[in-house]
Structure 1
Amino acid sequence: METLLISTGTRHTSLPDSYVRPEHDRPRPEDISPCKDVPIVDLGCGDRPRIVQEIAAACMHFGFFQVIGHGVPGEAVEGMLGVAASFFELPMEEKMKLYSDDPSRTTRLSTSFNVKKEAVHNWRDYLRLHCHPLEKYVPEWPNNPPSFKEVVSNYCKEVRRLGYKIEELISESLGLDKDTVKDVLGDAQGQHMAVNFYPPCPRPDLTYGLPGHTDPNALTVLLQDSRVPGLQVLKDGKWLAVRPIPGAFVINIGDQLQALSNGKYKSVWHRAVVNGDVSRISVASFLCPENNAMISPPKSLVEAGSGAVYRDFTYAEYYAKFWSRNLDQEHCLELFRNV
């Protein structure tokens, strides 16, 4: 089997041709502005109406926000980043025990996005883990580092609690009962994560860690490496750099919430750039509808507009369509739009 991982432990001195983006589709640092007015929501402020209002504004105008006062212990966050770094520092032969380019595998180490299909690769290795129910998936997880299963299990539980709390607030921000979003997504929502590793890149001006895309799930809870920025979001046709806030999580609205909100809330286009000097880690946790959950906006949201923007679909149908395409193609949700 060809070794496709780029986190070899040896610093790369040149960028292979297979990673070079077309000239019209490359990072242009001179065109990037800092996201100075990034929404920051303090979930611990004690003023629920204010929190709901701030989330509504963020979801409508940005499609993402950062949360502080979220209740996830600092030791859970630091532990997750620590075992992630330790995993990618393992010898190549140890990591390769988990390598697979089959997207249906529930635990796998891979690279780029979909190496079987894409014409240009992305400067990223990642460990993909399904996380719910934990008792089903933890036995598949890495045994190295020794603390991996315990630390990541604890982190997954904390993130799931946070995700459910945010779903309630989003539901209220749409003028719905607090449990409406959770009821649509299902009692046994899926949860998985991508532990992303972006090694130093010899030509960060020619490639991406991940190109512009939206997330196919309902909600993404992103833990950024506070040492070095990398996340950029698209707003009003311009890419904005999101400065990491130590201890904060970035919350992304995914495609399913855009459909469920009848297009009121936006699934944000975002991308990851790479650094020429230092590596970067991020941990993206995804909350997903049950496979058979029917994604359909509540009647009150349809009646308030000019009808349903998207046709009803199951999450399994959507996810299969998403993985059949390239990451940076047209928004997958457009394939489900009512005409």
Structure 2
Amino acid sequence: MLATKIVSNGIKYSTLPKSYVRPALERPKLSEVANCETVPVIDLDCEDETLIIQQIGDACRDYGFFQVINHGVSEEIMEKMLKVADEFFHLPLEEKMKLYSEDPFKTIRLSTSSNVKKETVHNWRDYLRLHCYPLEKYASEWPSNPSTFKEIVSKYCIQIRNLGARLQEDISKSLGLEKDCIKNILGEQGQHMAINYYPPCPEPELTFGLPAHADPNALSILLQDTQVAGLQVLKDGKWLAVKPLPNALTINIGDQLQGLSNGKYRSIWHRAVVNADKARISVASFLCPSNDAVISAPKELTIDGSPAIYRDYTYAEYYKKFWGRSLDQEHCLELFKN
């Protein structure tokens, strides 16, 4: 029974199990996907701060995502993070299944797909979900196997949080706000992580690792295996494949920054496809508003007569609605429009 709950269960499938097969109109149509040749790449070590702010603003408005280089997260810790993630997913099934749960509100859980209880078709993905901040509260719950897991993931989390704080300041300034404006609205931010494992898939054209969705949080920071691409973004009505650059991190604007920016910045629709020959690993880190943070566009963004697009709401209210739906339903922000 356990072997059917996650995809990384040691079974070699020659055809895709029926519960993963998408209806014909909902398949990824991989032959129609072009490469995204214009991915914004921002050098955070550039001496021209004004240029960085402008590039970030342009990317948030026109794309909803960008890649950053010279971002302050060490190459060594990124390599170790991907390696220990791979080691975890190659543990014996019985060891991994100790962490299995279908409750999306648990602070640590191994699961598969996205919202197993709500979905009619599952996704070809397993993931380990971790709460990461404050570290002293959560890290003791993390796996002790592999033996280096807690140490490596803790170091990675700290560096990612520092990067996220810097990016939020830059995003705030790119909107014409004080650098601490976003931070003050979001409150004491939570930090979560999804360590994703997409095993080789016998029929990748029939399913997704993750279907199209927008992230419910404020900011997402994605570390990817550069050898196996899988991220695709929706740009001007077309799906485009994003090739990760070596030592780069991919930044996604989440729903809360779209709401906070009064729709000026885009929470990008994106998806993950799978590979017939190779497994893919990615590590997604999410910065999330405090539960009682009230998401509301600052007055500076409505002072020119632009009405507030979204009503005020708390992040706890938003998060509850998000997890009460299937991942690929309409944009959850639509439920909060004025």
Per the TM superposition, whether the score is higher than 0.5 is yes
Cα distance in 2 for partners of 1:151, 1:305 equals 49
Per-residue deviation, 1:31: 1.3
Are 1:38 and 2:11 counterparts? no
Equivalent residue for 2:108?
107
Cα distance in 1 for partners of 2:135, 2:255 equals 25
Per-residue deviation, 1:304: 2.9
Equivalent residue for 2:332?
332
Give per-residue Cα distances to partners, 1:5-50, cap 9 Å, x unaligned. 1102343222111000010010112211110000000001121100
Are 1:145 and 2:146 counterparts? yes
Equivalent residue for 1:27?
28
Aligned pairs for 1:142-291 (under 5 A) are: 142-186=143-187, 188-291=188-291
Give per-residue Cα distances to partners, 1:196-247, cap 9 Å, x unaligned. 0000000000000000000000000000111111000001000000001111
Cα distance in 2 for partners of 1:10, 1:117 equals 25
Q: Which runs of 5+ in 2 are unaligned?
A: none
Give the alignment's Cα RMSD to 1 decimal.
Answer: 0.8
Secondary structure of residue in 2 paired with 1:303: coil
Per-residue deviation, 1:305: 4.7
Letter in 2 for 1:234: L
Letter in 1 for 2:316: A
Cα distance in 1 for partners of 2:256, 2:231 equals 21
Does structure 1 conserve the Cα–Cα contact (< 8 Å) formed by 2:2 and 2:97? no
Cα distance in 1 for partners of 2:177, 2:306 equals 19
Letter in 1 for 2:31: E
Secondary structure of residue in 2 paired with 1:205: helix
Does structure 2 conserve the Cα–Cα contact (< 8 Å) formed by 1:99 and 1:110? yes
- Between the aligned residues of both structures, percent identity stands at 65
Cα distance in 2 for partners of 1:316, 1:100 equals 21
Does structure 2 conserve the Cα–Cα contact (< 8 Å) formed by 1:9 and 1:89? no
TM-score scaled by length of structure 1: 0.98
Aligned pairs for 1:53-92 (under 5 A) are: 53-92=54-93
Letter in 2 for 1:32: V
Cα distance in 1 for partners of 2:279, 2:114 equals 18
Letter in 2 for 1:260: L
Give per-residue Cα distances to partners, 1:80-100, cap 9 Å, x unaligned. 001000000100000001001
Does structure 1 conserve the Cα–Cα contact (< 8 Å) formed by 2:213 and 2:271? yes
Letter in 2 for 1:194: A
Give per-residue Cα distances to partners, 1:127-153, cap 9 Å, x unaligned. 000000001101110010000000000
Does structure 2 conserve the Cα–Cα contact (< 8 Å) formed by 1:230 and 1:273? yes
Cα distance in 2 for partners of 1:218, 1:151 equals 24
Letter in 2 for 1:178: K
Matched pairs, number: 337
TM-score scaled by length of structure 2: 0.99
Cα distance in 2 for partners of 1:84, 1:290 equals 27
Letter in 1 for 2:272: A
Cα distance in 2 for partners of 1:46, 1:293 equals 34
Letter in 2 for 1:286: F
The worse-fitting range, judged by mean Cα deviation, of 297-306 and 195-204 is 297-306
Letter in 2 for 1:229: A
Q: Which runs of 5+ in 1 are unaligned?
A: none
Does structure 1 conserve the Cα–Cα contact (< 8 Å) formed by 2:219 and 2:286? yes
Letter in 1 for 2:55: E
Give per-residue Cα distances to partners, 1:260-302, cap 9 Å, x unaligned. 0000000000000000000000000000000000000110101
